[in-house]
Amino acid sequence: MRRLNHFIDGQNVSGTSGRFGDLFDPNTGAVQGQVPLADISEIATAVAAARAAFPAWAAQNPQRRARVMFEFKRLVEANMDDLAALLSSEHGKVIADSRGDIQRGLDVVEFAAGIPHLQKGEFTENAGPGIDVYSMRQPLGVCAGITPFNFPAMIPCWMAAVAIACGNTFILKPSEKTPSVPLRLAELMLQAGAPAGVFNVVNGDKVAVDAILHHPDIKAVSFVGSSDIAQYVYATGAAHGKRVQAMGGAKNHGIILPDADMDQVVRDIVGAAFGSAGERCMALPVAVPVGKNTADEFVARMQDAIAGLKVGISTDAQAQFGPVVSAAHRDRIARYVQMGVDEGAELVVDGRGLELQGHENGFFIGPSLFDHVTPDMQSYRDEIFGPVLQVVRAETLAQATHLATAHQYGNGVAIFTRSGRAAREFAARVDVGMVGINVPIPVPVSYHSFGGWKRSAFGDTNQHGPDGVRFWTRIKTVTERWPDGDIGDQAFVIPTMG
């Protein structure tokens, strides 16, 4: 059985709190290791290491920090197969999804490698008589990231790559369910040339989270997780004088107009709803077909598509998705399926009770499909975070737009149509942060910024892209005027080396 460590000041460090959490293999349900759960003193040790490393790292010229990002990307790519296998062994997602998880993180590492340009300030000559004004984007100091179980490579890279490239030092508190890949990323960052103390990983639970939020030397915190915890992190961190961005949950809608290409719609939504077992904040768990004929055709064709899906262990190359991350999460999803039945929705496909031969104790649950879901149902209002697709029928585009706008979450939304006018009007009017037009999972590319609205995000800035650089830096503005005077001939003497 493996026993994991923390990674502090360039070293693997054993946990000293005496508290450990079990690390499961979702494919078998067996305990495969233990992860240390940090106490306040271990967070303090990591902060001290990061604080000590900060002055020299911040003073590095941006080209040198960019070179570390380039080398880090190369090392991660060289270790892609091992990292993907490790990720799947703890999360349960199939290998192809794990590789995608890592690659989307590397996209942001590539973006961060452009830090010499991204961190440039502004300059105004002669803002007043003989007065120039310029600004500098400077790092904040010790920063922290708190990341969820579902993307243990991508989201740490979203946070750490930009923060570190900007000259900050970083403490990552990954999910205790999927800690191994984040620890390996920290080792690779050290190998890439980042000095010891620049990237630290401390495993833990709420004790570690609260220690991060309360520590006076941590200047900024980025969080991704459920909305209730995101709101807590935002409020607590801000109350302690920190800059905070906190990304929460989602209930993304896919609007299907009668003129949509139904072949494309079914292909896209079956992948967006059930890929990675639905454990994605940008999954598409709600379909909103407009008009009875559209709805009837969509449900019938989706039912056929689901029948062709294969659920398997994470190493099965033929499987579309694998187990969910834990037995507790599997049982929670099953309870939501029952809730939908009790609320009066029509359960067209029931994914409960799925077992794989030889893996009967794995955390598997099959795809479920509901029709005739209504906005008053609790199962519709809540984020299920599993392979459950709910169909809410609408009569008009205006009604469909209102459904997405009125929902408590505002992370992502998609519309499927051939009408440019309808898509343009929808994109302008819908009250959601990220919009896809014939794109089911509208995650922006790395050089744009990622973030939702309403209870999907707390704070004023988004992840990665230009907002990421703004979040991890602060502006210093200098107004300068030089006095007149006779500088004499000495000013024009070329100095020589002594």
User: SS3 of 116, please?
Assistant: helix
Task: Out of 143, 157, 166, 281, pick the active-site residue.
Answer: 281
Is residue 281 annotated as a catalytic residue, yes or no? yes
Q: Closest Cα to residue 154, out of 174, 138, 168, 139? A: 174
Q: Closest Cα to residue 426, out of 396, 455, 388, 470? A: 396
| CB within 8 Å of 431: residues ≥ 6 apart | 404, 405, 410, 453, 454
Rounded to whole angstroms, how far apart are CA atoms 317 and 120? 45
Whole-number Cα distances in Å, 122 to 380, 475, 478, 481: 47, 10, 10, 17
Q: Closest Cα to residue 403, out of 377, 428, 430? A: 430
Rounded to whole angstroms, how far apart are CA atoms 335 and 348? 16
Q: Closest Cα to residue 180, out of 105, 84, 103? A: 84
| CB within 8 Å of 168: residues ≥ 6 apart | 54, 57, 58, 139, 140, 141, 142, 143, 219, 220, 472
Within 248-340, strands assigned E span 253-256, 286-289
Within 13 Å, how many C-alpha atoms sit on residue 280's CB side?
26
| CB within 8 Å of 362: residues ≥ 6 apart | 26, 27, 28, 29, 313, 323, 356
Whole-number Cα distances in Å, 34 to 17, 24, 177, 411: 13, 9, 10, 34
Q: Read off φ and ψ for residue 62, nearest 5 degrees.
A: -60, -25
Tokens 């149509």, located at residue? 417
Active site residues: 281
